[in-house]
Amino acid sequence: MVASDIPLIAGMDEVGRGCLAGPVVAAIVILKSDTAVAGLGDSKELSPKRRESLSLEIKRSSLAWAIGRAEPGEIDRINILQATLLAMRRAYDALPVKPSWVKVDGNRFPNIPCNGEAIIGGDACVPQISAASILAKVSRDREMAILDALYPGYRFADHKGYPTQVHKAKLKELGVTPIHRLSFSPVSRVLPIGS
């Protein structure tokens, strides 16, 4: 089998669907081999330090990778599911090498010009999806740390925009920022009447 006959399998995953603030971020990765990176797994189960080190290793050990995103305004306009699929499409479109098959975490396959499959729980058992999960998580977490500095007091660096008790309390205390998702009920409930 020549190198050109080897199928290029990409993994894709997203992070940030359940957040009240910030973008939804998707990543796609084509690893050089299934065993290219040791210690891959569901990004949510790894420590931030471990994710950071694995992120560097994934980038070094991949044939190609890319990040896509959808902004809070887009999420409000088209809903979180469609925004997630849009972020995935943008990640696919940004990938410099096109795969022959894409494995996506979850139960929905995005509208991309490539065959593939959706795998529930794939981030825990498919190396390519695990790698994508880690890249998406690291990328989004870094951005939330920057947004924490831009919007002090909300503690975005701590909760990353997820609907924690602290985040909901800060929303009530400080109000809504431009990076909050207005269509999400914990946010819409604190908006002034008529806004």
When the pLDDT of each residue in the chain is averaged and rounded to a whole number, the result is 93
Burial (CB count <10 Å: 0-12, 13-18, 19+), residue 114: middle
Per the CB < 8 A criterion, the answer to whether 154 and 170 are in contact is yes
The neighbouring-strand residues paired with 180 are 21
pLDDT (tens digit per residue) in 16-41: 999 999 999 999 999 987 666 888 87
Over residues 59-66, mean pLDDT? 95
pLDDT at 1: 36
pLDDT over 70 (residue 194): no
Q: What string of DSSP letters covers 79-136?
A: -HHHHHHHHHHHHHHH-SS--SEEEEESS---S-SS-EEEETTHHHH-HHHHHHHHHH
Over residues 169-195, mean pLDDT? 90
Q: Annotate 42-60 with b (16+ C-beta within 10 A) or e (fewer).
A: bbeebeeeebeebbebbee
Identify the CATH homologous superfamily for domain 3-188: Ribonuclease H-like superfamily/Ribonuclease H (3.30.420.10)
How many C-beta atoms lie closer than 10 Å to residue 38's C-beta?
Answer: 8
Question: What pTM was estimated for this model as a whole?
Answer: 0.93
Residue 143 tokens read as 């951005």
CA 46 to chain CA mean position, Å: 15
Residue 32 tokens read as 């050089």
- Give, as one character, the DSSP assignment of residue 20: S
pLDDT at 191: 83
Reduced to 3 states (helix: H, G, I; strand: E, B; else coil), residue 31 is strand
pLDDT at 58: 95
